[in-house]
Amino acid sequence: MGGKAKPTKHTAAEIKAKHDAHKPRGGGAAGQAERAVTIKFTCNVCKAQMPSLKNLRDHYEAKHPKETFPEAEYAAQDVKKEVVHVHHNQAALQKSNKNASRAVRDAVKEKNKAGAVVDESRKKDYTHTGKGGPSTL
């Protein structure tokens, strides 16, 4: 006779493989250049390459504890990427017009209207009303 334990239908490896199949894998080819790790700093002692100043500082503490970390020397090499800040109204406007303030909506509408390409052959002409739209009588 068998035990009272309930038989398993799937092994732990099968369940893990199923979960791993649904994990995000990255942003595709579009953002590949942004995701690439760029080597910015090289340790003067052992010539190890580091992507950031913090990594280099941690490297000095772990690998060269007797050396003092020359912060000023490496800080001059650190080039900050320019960050474009988007106001919350503009961010909301990019998703949906309902959350943006009227002034922001109007400014973006004017900007879009100025850059829009209009195909005159497909433009509807409402001549039955004098205002350019259907009558609401």
pLDDT digits (tens, 9 = 90+) for 70-96: 888 888 777 666 665 666 655 555 555
pLDDT in tens, 9-34: 888 899 999 888 887 776 677 667 76
Amino acid at 106: D
- pTM of whole model > 0.85? no
The per-residue pLDDT for 40 is 82
Give the residue among 67, 71, 108, 73 at the shortest CA–CA distance from 89.
108
**Angle of helix 88-95 versus helix 102-115 axis, rounded to 10:** 60
